[in-house]
Amino acid sequence: MILGSGDYRYDMEWDWGTTPDGWTLGWIGGVATDSQDRVYVYNRGTHPMVVFDPQGNVLTHWGDDFLPHAHGIYIDGDDMLWLTDQKAQAVFKCTTDGEILQTIGTPGRIGSEGVPFHDPTDAFPTSSGEIFVSDGYGNAHCHRFSADGELTASWGTPGTKTGEFVLPHSVWVDPRDRVWVADRENRRIQLFDRDGGFIEEWTGIDRPTDFHAVDDEVVFVAELDAGIAVLDLDGGVVVRFGTMGNGRDEFVAPHGIWLDSQGCLYLCEVQRDDKIHKLTPA
């Protein structure tokens, strides 16, 4: 099944990944690859972190003791994993074998309104060492932390006006130093400066759930109600592809997206079990 068009055409592999008998991945919060193209599937099934090789074979698993509810994942240039766990109320910085190096937030403690965290969704570490976190399900905020985990800024409030959020679901800082926030239930992306000053909004996005940039020109966006959109840095839609449905080669609820070093796309879903798709450039 070929999806996309122009420079963004992909052969979609159905039922990618093989797990041992008795395992389930359940709903998959996020997916990312490291410098060796090992695939980290952050899920709500038998084991919260399952690591695959590029062919879909399980290499290892970990996280059973500290990851109760998988949501967002990001792997930085040093192969450090930044895991946002919705019910642990924390962001964990981990090695590729699951050693916790840093914890942001107090695991198990829900913050009061506007205070980190109440069901957070995603984290993004910048090259300067700062960490931005979208605090989405219980709060309607974004937070900025210093490299040592000190809270340095917060912004947002529930609502539909600019600077307000209804479920901030993912966060990313682009090469122009703008903070992108996937304002999912407002069906838009909002852009801010690093202090939370509003810059602009892009509407017409179908419930954005995750970002992944491949260069300084385009960003892949998982859309819960549509599939995949490729945007330029001015918010223009380069291409959008994917068919919504419960059948083969269709998407129900795209939730996390990542590209490996070979240009292969990985897209994971919620609202149906064990669905992670590999899309290879066609």
- CATH at residue 106: 2.120.10.30
Domain count, the chain: 1
Q: Quick count: other Cβ atoms within 10 Å of Cβ 191?
A: 18
Enclosing H/E stretch for 61:
strand 58-62
Report if pTM > 0.95: yes
Residues linked to residue 28 through DSSP beta bridges, in sequence order? 43
Mean pLDDT along residues 86-101:
98
- How far apart are the C-alpha atoms of 126 and 106, rounded to whole Å? 22
Per the CB < 8 A criterion, the answer to whether 275 and 229 are in contact is: no
207, 214, 217, 274: which is closest to 242 by C-alpha? 207
Sign of the CA dihedral running 61, 269, 131, 177: positive
Residues 6 or more apart whose Cβ sits within 8 Å of residue 148: none
User: For residue 15, what pLDDT band results from cuts at 50, 70 and 90?
Assistant: confident
Mean pLDDT along residues 16-28:
96
Per the CB < 8 A criterion, the answer to whether 152 and 132 are in contact is: no
pLDDT in tens, 190-218: 999 999 999 999 999 999 999 999 777 89
* Residue 177 structural domain: 2-281
